[in-house]
Structure 1
Amino acid sequence: MSTNEKPAGRIDCVLVAAGKYHDIDFARLELLKLLAEVEHIRVRVFEDYSNLDAISNADFLVTYTCDVIPSLDEQEALRAWVAAGGRWIALHGTASILRFLDNGLVDSPALAPHFMETLGSQFIAHPPIGPHRVEVADPTHPLVDGIEPFEVIDELYLSDIHADLHVLLDTEFEGDATGFARTKWRHARHPVLYLRPIGDGSVLYLTLGHCRGHYDMQPLLDFWPEKQRCAWELPVFYDLLRRGIAWGKASNE
């Protein structure tokens, strides 16, 4: 076997876990534990998208980030990798760009349209964290087959949609996204889990999974009073993550 040839049976995964205002250590560890349940998955972990060689040689990609934006060259390489058959499991804040305005509100500017078109959406705002009901939009799809509607306390993502999406889970909302520049939202359904096909590959995006520890709002706040785990406290969330990993590794099977 040559040094560039992958051993038989091995599945290579890249995990990008980094960003602002979230307990990235917690999310990274939980994802690594789930990936380790499949013994032939080997994982490399990075804080951004700059190791394009690792990504291009990966069978699938998992990202849990907040306000981590690849360069244009990296965005184009990611799109090409997916189009060539790659599978990308994008979680929670992967599609976020956050900028604090002088008035204290949080803006989500359109600074990376190519990246957001690849992901299929861009996070814009969320109402205050609270309970909401997640519905199954396509119960016939294997990724959500047998999943029942469930209540979750988490960030309800309000996003701009930039592609044709195959929505698997969704929720509805009408009201105010307090603290964000785009505050008022009319009644609509919003995707929670969707597939965004590109060429021979696809992005699987799950918006749930907020988490925050005591020190994750620095330097804005020295201490955040409450640990937040949100959907990570629900068995159904881990079920969805395991299904996503099975879908991602299937690209090599």
Structure 2
Amino acid sequence: MTGEAVATVRAMLVIGGGYHDFDLVRRRLLDLLGEQERIRTICTHDFRDQDALAAANFLITYTTNIFPDAQGLRILEQFLAGGGRWLAIHGSAAYIEFSGPEVEIGGIRLPGLTDTPDRHPGYMDLLGCRFLSHLARQPFTVHPVSDHPLVAGLPPFEVVDEPYILELRGESEILLESRYTGEAPGYVKGPWLEDVPRPQAVLHRHGAGEALFLAPGHSCGRYDMQPFIAEIEPQVGPWDSPAYLELLRRAIRWGAHLTVGVP
């Protein structure tokens, strides 16, 4: 063997929580990560493997109601401050709990309205945004609004997804936007009737590192809404969309500190 060894990228993939098709998303992300020979990935369902996080260069999360403990939050802050990059998708910005009496929404009986109190402020500050609620799942168009390499030259594309309403935390660069208004069925917060741009990709810098949040990414399998409903029609969301997968490819190269847009 001759020549200088090529450094590998240590990625940590955290996928877990509830109400989403985590198996489908895990497969899609591992396929995309596997396209980059330099990336070596550890998979887990929460933040308890703090040694893996401390050793990682790149963190990817697709979670709902999964958060690090106090020590894990310190490690996450150090990870970003030291130059790590965090790709957080969809529910990774969400903390939800149920409030009030039982309600039935779209044939699904819930133990109350879905509320999103700010229970994890340190985590949300590091991410740069927080989920508040969403409109009913529907098609909408996502538009690039930046010349950042992550989205430069990317045409507008349509997704069938949950239109997210976000609260921004600290200074951020908005890379993708959409516009929509409407009710937020089943949520405490809403309706959202003001016709304003809605961030879909938020880039937040912390120290030498960066966090990129992508709002689109909903997917739900036939049995993923149990115990609230026995079966639903599977929802693949944008995970079969060529434009969305191209965005994720760019995000993975960005997270690995590789040149974005180069295969």
Whether the 8 Å CA contact 2:73–2:123 is kept in 1: the answer is yes
Matched, 1:113 2:111: no
- CA distance 1:79–1:251, shift in 2 (3 Å): farther
Aligned to 1:33: 31
How far apart in 2 are the matches of 1:188 and 1:58? Answer: 37
Once the two structures are superposed, the pairs formed by residues 153-192 of structure 1 within 5 Å of their partners are: 153-185=160-192, 186-192=194-200
1:49-88 Cα offsets, whole Å, 9 max, x none, are 1111111111101111111122122122211210110000
How far apart in 1 are the matches of 2:239 and 2:41? Answer: 21
- Select which of 62, 66, 78 maps to 1:80: 78
CA drift at 1:131: 1.1
CA drift at 1:9: 2.4
Structure 1: segments with no counterpart, 5+ residues: 1-6
In structure 1, give the amino acid aligned to 2:208. Answer: D
Aligned to 2:224: 216
Aligned to 1:4: none
Matched, 1:50 2:48: yes
Whether the 8 Å CA contact 2:53–2:75 is kept in 1: the answer is no
TM-score by length of 2: 0.89
Superposition RMSD in Å: 1.5
How far apart in 2 are the matches of 1:24 and 1:30? Answer: 10
Aligned to 2:109: none
1:217-237 Cα offsets, whole Å, 9 max, x none, are 12222222x100111121000
How far apart in 1 are the matches of 2:208 and 2:234? Answer: 40
- Select which of 194, 200, 221 maps to 2:202: 194
In structure 2, give the amino acid aligned to 1:171. Answer: S
- Select which of 134, 138, 146 maps to 1:126: 134
Whether the 8 Å CA contact 1:106–1:179 is kept in 2: the answer is yes
Structure 2: segments with no counterpart, 5+ residues: 102-111
TM-score by length of 1: 0.92
- Percent of residue pairs identical: 38
- CA distance 1:39–1:251, shift in 2 (3 Å): closer
How far apart in 2 are the matches of 1:184 and 1:80? Answer: 38
